[in-house]
Structure formats: C-alpha cells, structure tokens
Amino acid sequence: MTETSAAFWRGARHSLPFTIVVIPFAILFGVVATEAGLNVLETMVFTVTVFAGASQFAALQLMQDNAPTLIVLATALAVNLRMVMYSVALAPHLGRAPLGWRAVMAYFLVDQSFAVSSIEYERNPALPIMAKVAFFFGALLPVAPVWYAASLGGALAGRAIPPEFALDFALPITFLAMVAPLLRSLPHIVAAGVSILMSLLLAGLPWGTGVLVAAACAMAAGATLVWRLEKGRANG
C-alpha cells in the first residue's frame, strides 16, 4: 500500500465514529425540511449545494419563523464563518495542493473533515502534500455519502418518524464531539465560554440574532487573548 492510499484509509478510519451522529443528524434535517414545506427534490438540492448541517438547520428555523431573507442569509453566513478559520488553519498544510483539488476541498470542508485532518497534520507535519490531500478525502468517506443518503431518507420518511425518537439529540452531540478535542489552549476555552454565556444571555432576541452577536463576541474574546499572550511573550 502506498503512503497516499494508506493516508486515505487512515482518514476514513479516524472519521468513522462521526457516522454515529451524522446519520440521525441528517435524517432529522430531511424530516425538518419536509415539515418546513420543502419537497424531496428541494431538500436534496439544499443539502447538496450547501453541505453545511448547522447553517441548514439555522436557515430552516428562521424560514419557519418567517424571518426576513436578509436575516436568514446573515445567520447562515455567521454560522459558517468558522469555515474561514478552518481554511486559515489548514492552509499551511494544503496550500501547495493543485488548485482543482483545493476547490473541491473547499466545498467539502466541514467540521468533521477539519477536526480529524488538523489533528493528523499536527501529528505528522512531514506527510507529502498528496498524502495530506488523500487523508482529507478519506475523512469524508464516512461522512459525505452518509449525509446525502440519510438526508434523503429523512426527506422520504417525513412525518412518519415518531417524535419520541428525539433525533434532535444529534445536533448538540455532534458539535460536542467535534469541539471538545480542539479546546487545547486558553484562547480556545475562553472563546467557547464566551459564546456559551452570550448565547444564553441573548437567547430572547428575535430570529436567532443572539447567535450572531455571541459569535462575534467569542471571536473577539479569543483573538484579544491571543494578542495579549503573544504580546506578553514578546515582552519577556
């Protein structure tokens, strides 16, 4: 087995546990989308074109609340702003990949692929560039096809799934599983704490706009602490 193929299957193996929560999460999206008035085709177009579960849920919730289109778009964008930070973090490892590969990876950059890839690249910084690319796509193997298929299953099932199944547990568990291993420094922990606190304090704001403010506060808090720590180190 070549180093590239070994990296691909290692990525798939590391990402495999995420299917435990991706499946019910995607099924839930399909169910919620049909309950919001989308048909199966519209649900799948939404899923394939956006491919970002959290922002898809946020947009659906606001659409059900009859929020203004601008608020829907701004909230979905804010939820996905973390992808910009993910891209910056992965750029030193994947920036030398061919443009075509980088374009495809940009579409498939999700929490799961970032989480396992960033950990792998930190552990093995000397991996050849194509092995890093292979690992990234391997990490998607248990996630992307499962997300599409389970979303379709949820859309087809619609309201046939009993409410007592409580599939909504998948959303918080998914993010806890992805975020917890990444909280490896004080700025990360502070940003997470600020986001939780502000989200709770601003929960009463209309159309989920409290999430937008909480995200901005969390990023500002984390960035400020990073700046202070770096300044302190520079001053000895």
Examine the domain organization and report whether 189 and 76 are in the same domain.
no
> What is the pLDDT of the chain when averaged over all its residues?
84
Q: Are 1 and 129 in contact (CB under 8 A)?
A: no
Do 202 and 125 share a structural domain? Answer: no
CA distance 190 to 43: 36
Output the six-digit token pair for 101: 């590969």
DSSP of 26-42: HHHHHHHHHHTT--HHH
Amino acid at 201: L
Q: Which of 136, 151, 182 represents a domain boundary (last residue)?
A: 182
Radius of gyration of the chain (CA): 19
Distance CA 154, CA 160 (A): 9
Q: Which domain holds residue 205?
A: 184-236
DSSP for 139-179, written as a single string: HHTTTHHHHHHHHHHHHHHGGGS-GGG-GGGHHHHHHHHHH
Residue 58 and residue 83 in one domain = yes
Q: How many structural domains compose the chain?
A: 2
Structure tokens at 50: 């956006």
Whether 203 and 118 share a structural domain: no
Residues in the chain with pLDDT values less than 50: none
44 and 160 in a single domain? The answer is yes
**pLDDT (0 to 100) of residue 158:** 74
Q: Are 99 and 201 in the same domain?
A: no
190 and 177 assigned to the same domain: no
Q: Does residue 177 sit in the same domain as residue 227?
A: no
pLDDT digits (tens, 9 = 90+) for 99-149: 999 999 999 998 889 989 999 999 988 899 999 999 999 999 999 999 999
One domain for residues 200 and 223:
yes
pLDDT for residue 56: 85
Closest by Cα among 176, 139, 151 to 43:
151
- State whether residue 2 is helix, strand or coil: coil
Sequence letter at residue 169: F
Are both 117 and 222 inside the same structural domain? no
Structure pTM? 0.72
Q: Which is nearest to 18 in space by CA: 90, 114, 91, 153?
A: 114
Q: Which two tokens stand for residue 201?
A: 């304090």
pLDDT of residue 36: 76
